[in-house]
């Protein structure tokens, strides 16, 4: 007989969880899609919170106690599977039962490491400054491994579901939509836990709200660029533009972002303005010292930005006077031919703002790049 196996929240969970992860995976390919990746990831994270509580309050097949079984059962199931005659279970079989646990755990790991990467490596969101760049890089590696483990498991899961439907005609996939499946015997009733049920929904709403707050983009300027963050007295602060700097140092070329060279480079450069790349760029002492101070306060060591961290680690103890001579800069621009730099709207590789309209606020993100065509 057909029996109601999957309760509605479990079915809704199943398909929204799948959709959230597909979107998260699809949006992980480009930095441009980071916002979508974050929102989908946040949704998946909140769904896990819901599913964990639902695992104690849903119907028989939704509860962990109903499908998490010991090794003997798993072994029995798997050896049946090898003989192409697996035991039938009304709800999750012992193998998929554990797959559910692993998928939920991996998603929790993905959510936690994702938040660390976002704040410590991408340097965005309200937790900037909480995790170090190194911690975030480690978290990034874990995030990557967890993501591909999830993908592998999900692929096996889909293949197994198809197998059950095609070979054993169990109508499994349809049952995840309708809730109904042909089973031998009845699904036992379980004690209702209405309070816990409500908690699952409240938790879902709370985690969704919390996750969205954690991942909403930081401050955006009216121009649409997200300014680089630098160390301030009370924690990270958006970099302030300095008009004296922009006027004095932006007359022959664009005003380079202070976040892309270490303080020692800026000090050296400011001490040698009389012979500045073949030009005399000297300024009155007072102006020099004001600009120097501002550059040093927003230098690469003090900036919360991925390029800053990477430039610092790529130059060792050196004090380069050119951003364009750091290994990091050269690698990032290695695909760009000389023809591009000679285009009229670009004219030179040091004309950063031609391709990085957010350069004056220290924003060099992928989605903030547009290379002029002519
Ligand atoms: C009189 C013109 C002039 C002024 C004023 C001037 N510069 Fe320059 N600057 C140059 C020239 C020329 C170069 C070399 C540009 C090139 O190779 O394309 C240069 C290059 C640089 C570079 C290296 C760019 C790179 O990564 O390749 C930095 C950094 C720099 N200037 C900082 C400053 C600062 C800071 C000030 C203000 C105190 C300043 N400049 C004012 C003419 C000037
Ligand atoms: C002709 C256009 C062009 C010019 C000029 C240019 N860039 Fe870029 N820059 C790019 C492109 C395109 C990328 C993306 C490369 C990639 O990711 O493969 C990039 C990447 C970067 C990145 C890495 C961004 C990230 O997070 O991955 C930084 C930082 C950067 N540029 C800084 C600068 C600075 C500083 C200057 C000026 C000294 C400059 N660029 C001049 C086109 C340009």
Of residues 125, 114, 133, the one with CA closest to residue 220: 125
Place 224 in a pLDDT band, splitting at 50, 70 and 90.
Answer: low
Residues 6+ apart with CB under 8 A from 134: none
Question: In this predicted model, what pLDDT tens digit does every residue of 135-179 receive, in sequence order?
Answer: 999 999 999 999 999 999 999 999 999 988 888 888 888 888 888
pLDDT at 308 over 80: yes
User: CA Rg, the chain, in Å?
Assistant: 28
Ligand 1 atom closest to the Cα of residue 329 is 26
Of residues 350, 258, 251, 338, the one with CA closest to residue 305: 258
Q: Considering only 80-94, 183-197, 226-240, which range has the smallest mean pLDDT?
A: 183-197
pLDDT at 218 over 60: no
Average pLDDT over residues 121-141: 88
The CA 250 to ligand 1 mean position distance, Å, reads 8
CB distance 266 to ligand 1 below 6 Å: no
Question: In this predicted model, what pLDDT tens digit does every residue of 62-78 receive, in sequence order?
Answer: 999 989 999 999 999 99
Ligand nearest to the CA of 248: 1
pLDDT at 358 over 90: no
Average pLDDT over residues 308-315: 91
Residue nearest (by alpha carbon) to ligand 1 atom 1: 281
Q: Considering only 37-46, 49-58, 194-203, 225-234, which range has the smallest mean pLDDT?
A: 225-234
Exposure of 329 in the CB half-sphere (CA atoms within 13 A) = 16
Average pLDDT over residues 182-190: 68
Residues 87 and 66: their CA atoms lie apart, in Å, by: 16
Which of 182 and 255 is assigned the larger pLDDT?
A: 255
pLDDT at 221: 45
Question: In this predicted model, what pLDDT tens digit does every residue of 359-369 receive, in sequence order?
Answer: 878 888 877 78
- Cα distances from 75 to residues 90, 150, 240, 315, in angstroms, run 18, 22, 63, 55
Q: Considering only 110-124, 265-279, 319-333, which range has the smallest mean pLDDT?
A: 110-124
Ligand nearest to the CA of 292: 1
pLDDT at 237: 85
pLDDT at 127: 84
**Residues at CB less than 6 angstroms from ligand 2:** 260, 306-307, 323-324, 332-333, 335-336, 340-341, 346, 349-352, 354-356, 364-366, 369, 371
Average pLDDT, rounded, for the chain: 89
């Amino acid at each position: 007989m057909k029996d109601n196996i999957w309760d509605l929240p479990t079915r809704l969970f199943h398909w929204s969880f799948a959709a959230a992860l597909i979107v998260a995976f699809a949006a992980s390919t480009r930095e441009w899609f980071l916002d979508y990746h974050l929102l989908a990831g946040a949704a998946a994270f909140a769904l896990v919170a819901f599913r964990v509580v639902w695992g104690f309050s849903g119907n028989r097949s939704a509860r962990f106690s109903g499908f998490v079984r010991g090794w003997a059962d798993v072994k029995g199931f798997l050896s049946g599977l090898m003989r192409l005659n697996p035991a039938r279970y009304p709800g999750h079989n012992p193998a998929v039962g554990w797959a559910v646990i692993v998928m939920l755990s991996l998603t929790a790991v993905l959510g936690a490491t994702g938040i660390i990467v976002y704040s410590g490596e991408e340097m965005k969101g309200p937790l900037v400054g909480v995790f170090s760049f190194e911690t975030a890089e480690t978290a990034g590696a874990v995030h990557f491994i967890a993501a591909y483990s999830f993908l592998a498991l999900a692929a096996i899961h889909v293949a197994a579901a198809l197998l059950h439907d095609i070979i054993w005609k169990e109508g499994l996939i349809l049952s995840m939509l309708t809730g109904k499946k042909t089973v031998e015997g009845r699904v036992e009733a379980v004690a209702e836990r209405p309070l816990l049920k409500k908690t699952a929904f409240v938790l879902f709403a709370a985690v969704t709200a919390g996750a969205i707050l954690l991942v909403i983009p930081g401050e955006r300027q009216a121009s649409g660029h997200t300014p680089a963050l630098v160390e301030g007295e009370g924690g990270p602060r958006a970099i302030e533009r300095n008009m004296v700097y922009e006027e004095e140092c932006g007359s022959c070329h664009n005003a380079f972002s202070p976040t892309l060279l270490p303080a020692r480079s800026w000090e050296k450069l400011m001490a040698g303005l009389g012979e500045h790349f073949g030009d005399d760029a000297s300024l009155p002492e007072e102006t020099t010292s004001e600009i120097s101070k501002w550059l040093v306060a927003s230098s690469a060591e003090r900036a919360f930005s991925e390029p800053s961290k990477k430039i610092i680690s790529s130059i060792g103890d050196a004090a380069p006077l050119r951003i364009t001579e750091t290994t990091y800069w050269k690698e990032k621009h290695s695909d760009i031919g000389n023809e591009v730099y000679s285009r009229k709207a670009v004219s030179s590789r040091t004309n950063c703002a031609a391709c990085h309209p957010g350069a004056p606020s220290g924003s060099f993100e992928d989605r903030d790049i547009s290379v002029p065509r002519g």
